[in-house]
Structure 1
């Protein structure tokens, strides 16, 4: 009992109300950045420490392995380590492995990693295309149908009612769907949706199994409740039975997975289903500055229809920060290069690259940013691509680290021991210039940084403890932070946050997406913009380009920006006024030219070096060596990666052009007022052969 007050300390009044609510139905409407994970983990620990429930009787479910892993970590720290915190599918898999042999008198069927092969076989038998994209679309539609509790026979009518556009005509899709199910059953295999379907059916049809299950689990918590689909709700109902010991947490304003069957209707209707439920609203935003919060409120406040359960208005709790800024560009390449320069400026001011994200509506928009960041030698990671622990270099590293831990657990310097072990798989002291080698290096150095984090928390940790930490993170898909800019779709960014967020490509046809042809679909696109804006803690930049790549400037900025762009911004002018303004003669931009042959320069690297790629380099090798040694020392002093001081390309440009004064120095691309103030005197001294 003495621990109870500690669990309520540091909570705001609404969070405290949710944590201390009586055991029974509780609905927490939690806006972005309002501390929902803190609230629900404290609630679980509070119930445990008051003796109202024992840890093993609590089942907490969420939607990603990472979120479940974070919840388990927090619960352990709060003294509730025995609580089961899992995804819906992981929980169902565990339960099926236990109950299947009793119900079916056989071993459990094999779980498939991927349904692609069987769907392709079913399509091929019908003479349909088996191209990767076509099969992927068929598989996605099967997943929607099963998660919506729709079988092959019901599909045509249900799809028409839901306004679906199937990848093939409904009659053909029905046959593909039925063929896939037949092939799967013949192979005695299960897909991920089957895990939920089978456990729900067992609990519904086997009273003795349901009784045993409900004796084990007495209290349930569901995170991100706005994202449940009909199949998941059916499983939850089967888990609960006639009981009501359920806490749900969600935000209908962040419903962005309707295309996959998710619906906020159970969150919105929770109080009708449980009239005695405690309903708590969390609206104090601890993540973002008031300026970011104000813009996010305006985005979602413009929605056409907002049911009662969605009318949360965030109130920023952080100190003031910069106003969100807006920018319009002629084409996507110009937009990407400008964003890259802004990222470099933020990094120069001390914002870690891992705290910067570029978010877009569709993954195809990533390519131009990958190119621009590569040209500027700024490392990045694409979220939603290959999983961190599936990367070949990480798998190799974990084998080496397990071997090192088995050989000698006692080390005086854990990060140093990890670094030494990883030299076997290619870790070097200095990062490679770029490309795949740089990405590999970033993955390995992230493992070293994880060792530094572990030692800070557990000073006595050795290699075995570290290897166990890695194994636990791999199992829960909780990767370490990789030092690089994050590129991600708005969907992949859900649940994450950064100091600086760039929302890019905000044009009609992309956001809202072209196929959003109903009011409901358009409003979901608005919620995507809201989710993107609420990922930013301090810096928020919104931009759009009027053409793809030097083509005709026919695009229009997103309708969701109307009323958000400041009145004094050029893009806020009415269309006619903008046309008149654009008709005025423009000052011609000076085309950068090669200092050797006078040819026009193109590309970030050529402009930075001041010469075209075909002209010979006249670099002063001795000066370049001195510059790199100085950069390394300054980076260590400032505790930042070396490229934050100057990139290799900038140092090469200095060593080639050998600027003699401030004017010549700032003429080099990438050296602005901030870099000049911090490093200009040192660089000029080095060029003159003097000590900085």
Structure 2
């Protein structure tokens, strides 16, 4: 199998992950947003390493369920049918390790077993009886944690009796296997050397779900080596009640100082409006762990018009459950007929299982088929409306999602304990809400019912704190045009100055996150500009950005009709990017500061020399990404002005990627504005051109013929 073909179809971030060099970039943490293809990246990484000559038996890949491991194994073996990669769960790995013969004895004998360990379900009643005999309060010891090494010294003698009973009988619970495998690696050098030699590369899926003992097992297997490749989404860490510790993701960069971080932010599941809501859920997260989901599907699923409509998520309010169900049933029937959807394209998601039972009964009464529910004839349906808890829906997706129970006490659920414990639970409830939101592909309806029967009585509920706030409507200023423009300029300059004052505090308290803070503020500022100038911005074909390798030089080339084009470009590519600007702009208060901060290049139009400045900047690696307007100056009309070839020559020198962007309506929103009303501006991303790849294909390129004329023709067609 050709290694290059494995990379086909990957976006630039996925590709960077699959190609990651552990020797240069050390351990790798991939923060994978919902619907970003994380499992595909992990399996392609395994395939790629095998194609590059790595012995499959030297690769260890861990996940959390036998089903997930089987699915990953099936994907890998499509290309390499006989590959002996160990793809397994943590518990099956630990059991495998304990049953290996190392030298003259089995590994399980090294940790004290008299016979091979056999996993069984926890016999909680027998265990509680034994605790009582030893006069150990039941709240002080969990059966799953029997072999943990964190107990006080006063308790250890009593634990020895319990542990010895397990070692003598071989009857273990699953978590015993993890702790004993850790003990094997940490206390027996012969075993540690044996297993580290057995696997040279370790990969972990769903990394956000591992608990502290599983984390220790991975670290013990890895040792001081760099070959650790983990994929996870801290925003989908919803198994704290099972012992999963989200802190493992937060600590990754601290534990592995030389490690690398890649974000997978292209979502291939949901329409942009749903992703806009999903992104708003974690606005207060630490900057270094924040992700921005972007819609990576330009055509929609199967071409169904429901996807192209890009509906904004709706909030439905109901007085009682009967009113709510009438709305749900009626809307399912109407959408199904109008868009030719199947019953299985609809889902009702709930927080608790008892809610699920209610909605299943209500749908059955209404005569709608329900997936997984047994029919009167004893058959089980595959093609019906799905009703399930959010936990059960993780990893699934539906065209239309009704997310029920958006009320305090339901979503979020009730939080108990100390203040810190309640906050941890609330954080997990927020992540659970995010999982529910991102199950929707085309249409999301959030349901709030004021009163319903709950736990045996009729109760009134308050609206959930998670419900999105209605987007404020900007009041259109009824001002003379000149006063409107003065008002806008003053507000914009004030905002620039305000954030200059904030920057020293970012340097002081978040020194390592300054660039991330600037990126965030540039996006916020660009949105602010759209609001204050009364612009409705539409971005088309943004998914094409996923083809751009942002680790290399990128020239964003667009037509130029207005000052407004700059924030429009920022919002279009959702990245901070420098641009070539007239030296006179450097005289504008506060604007000068930010232009230097984002890496702009100032040129004197009369003296020229702009190309030399760009070359110098690129040579020093200071501006690997710049925005260029090949017309040179702002056009006087919506038609393209003549292009200059200098920037295309530079693109060839830098072997850059050229990303064409076409902007419509920006001049009418500012320079040629005639009133204070709202204006429509459209920005469209065109197919990027990888100059380096083009040179490899064609050899030497002629700037005008091979680049300038081609891009100009594309932009004229788009206009």
* 1:307 maps onto 2:286 in alignment: yes
Report the TM-score when normalising by structure 1: 0.59
- The answer on whether the counterparts of 2:107 and 2:191 sit within 8 Å (CA) in structure 1 is no
SS in 2 for 1:508: coil
CA shift for structure 1 position 145: 4.9
Aligned in 2, Cα 1:373/1:181: closer, same or farther, shift over 3 Å? Answer: farther
CA shift for structure 1 position 75: 0.8
Partner of 1:213: 195
**How many residue pairs are counted as aligned between the two chains?**
447
* 1-structure distance, mates of 2:375, 2:153: 48
RMSD: 3.4
Partner of 1:563: 469
* 1:78 maps onto 2:76 in alignment: no
CA shift for structure 1 position 45: 1.2
CA shift for structure 1 position 66: 2.0
Aligned in 2, Cα 1:96/1:378: closer, same or farther, shift over 3 Å? Answer: farther
CA shift for structure 1 position 529: 0.6
CA shift for structure 1 position 152: 7.9
Counterpart of 2:257 (choices 275, 296, 301) is 275
Q: Trace 1:385-424 onto structure 2 (pairs within 5 A).
A: none
* 1-structure distance, mates of 2:472, 2:353: 29
* 1:548 maps onto 2:465 in alignment: no
CA shift for structure 1 position 127: 12
- The answer on whether the counterparts of 2:115 and 2:168 sit within 8 Å (CA) in structure 1 is no
Structure 1 gap segments, 5+ residues each: 130-134, 157-173, 383-433, 444-481, 569-692
CA shift for structure 1 position 333: 4.2
Partner of 1:489: 389
SS in 2 for 1:543: strand
* 1-structure distance, mates of 2:366, 2:432: 29
Partner of 2:16: 17
- Alpha-carbon deviations, 1:544-589, whole Å to 9, x = none? 2111149877311101114258889xxxxxxxxxxxxxxxxxxxxx
Aligned in 2, Cα 1:552/1:178: closer, same or farther, shift over 3 Å? Answer: farther
Aligned in 2, Cα 1:148/1:107: closer, same or farther, shift over 3 Å? Answer: closer
Task: Name the larger-Rg structure.
Answer: 2
Counterpart of 1:197 (choices 156, 171, 179) is 179
Kindly indicate which of the two structures has a greater share of residues assigned to strand: 2
Partner of 1:343: 332
* 1:87 maps onto 2:86 in alignment: no
Aligned in 2, Cα 1:147/1:4: closer, same or farther, shift over 3 Å? Answer: farther
CA shift for structure 1 position 361: 1.3
Partner of 2:52: 50
Aligned in 2, Cα 1:557/1:271: closer, same or farther, shift over 3 Å? Answer: same
* 1:526 maps onto 2:430 in alignment: yes
CA shift for structure 1 position 180: 7.3
* 2-structure distance, mates of 1:531, 1:282: 16
Counterpart of 2:343 (choices 353, 365, 368) is 353
* 1-structure distance, mates of 2:424, 2:113: 47
Counterpart of 1:536 (choices 434, 437, 440) is 440
CA shift for structure 1 position 105: 7.1
Kindly indicate which of the two structures has a greater share of residues assigned to helix: 1
Aligned in 2, Cα 1:286/1:105: closer, same or farther, shift over 3 Å? Answer: closer
SS in 2 for 1:380: coil
* 2-structure distance, mates of 1:76, 1:542: 41
* 1:27 maps onto 2:33 in alignment: no
- Alpha-carbon deviations, 1:174-212, whole Å to 9, x = none? 99x999767755654100100101111112222112222
Partner of 1:142: 142
* 1:295 maps onto 2:277 in alignment: yes
Counterpart of 2:295 (choices 316, 340, 353) is 316
* 2-structure distance, mates of 1:494, 1:352: 21
Aligned in 2, Cα 1:243/1:436: closer, same or farther, shift over 3 Å? Answer: same
CA shift for structure 1 position 381: 4.3
Q: Trace 1:484-523 onto structure 2 (pairs within 5 A).
A: 484-516=384-416, 518-523=422-427
* 2-structure distance, mates of 1:155, 1:526: 37
Aligned in 2, Cα 1:91/1:484: closer, same or farther, shift over 3 Å? Answer: farther
- Alpha-carbon deviations, 1:606-642, whole Å to 9, x = none? xxxxxxxxxxxxxxxxxxxxxxxxxxxxxxxxxxxxx
Counterpart of 1:330 (choices 298, 308, 319) is 319
* 2-structure distance, mates of 1:106, 1:73: 37
Partner of 1:416: none
- The answer on whether the counterparts of 1:340 and 1:373 sit within 8 Å (CA) in structure 2 is yes
- The answer on whether the counterparts of 1:144 and 1:260 sit within 8 Å (CA) in structure 2 is no
Aligned in 2, Cα 1:436/1:300: closer, same or farther, shift over 3 Å? Answer: same
* 1-structure distance, mates of 2:17, 2:451: 49
- The answer on whether the counterparts of 1:145 and 1:155 sit within 8 Å (CA) in structure 2 is no
* 1:364 maps onto 2:354 in alignment: yes
CA shift for structure 1 position 377: 3.1
- The answer on whether the counterparts of 1:333 and 1:549 sit within 8 Å (CA) in structure 2 is no
* 2-structure distance, mates of 1:115, 1:6: 51
Partner of 1:678: none
* 2-structure distance, mates of 1:353, 1:547: 28
* 1:242 maps onto 2:146 in alignment: no
- Alpha-carbon deviations, 1:428-451, whole Å to 9, x = none? xxxxxx85545x4236xxxxxxxx
CA shift for structure 1 position 492: 2.2
CA shift for structure 1 position 295: 0.9
Report the TM-score when normalising by structure 2: 0.57
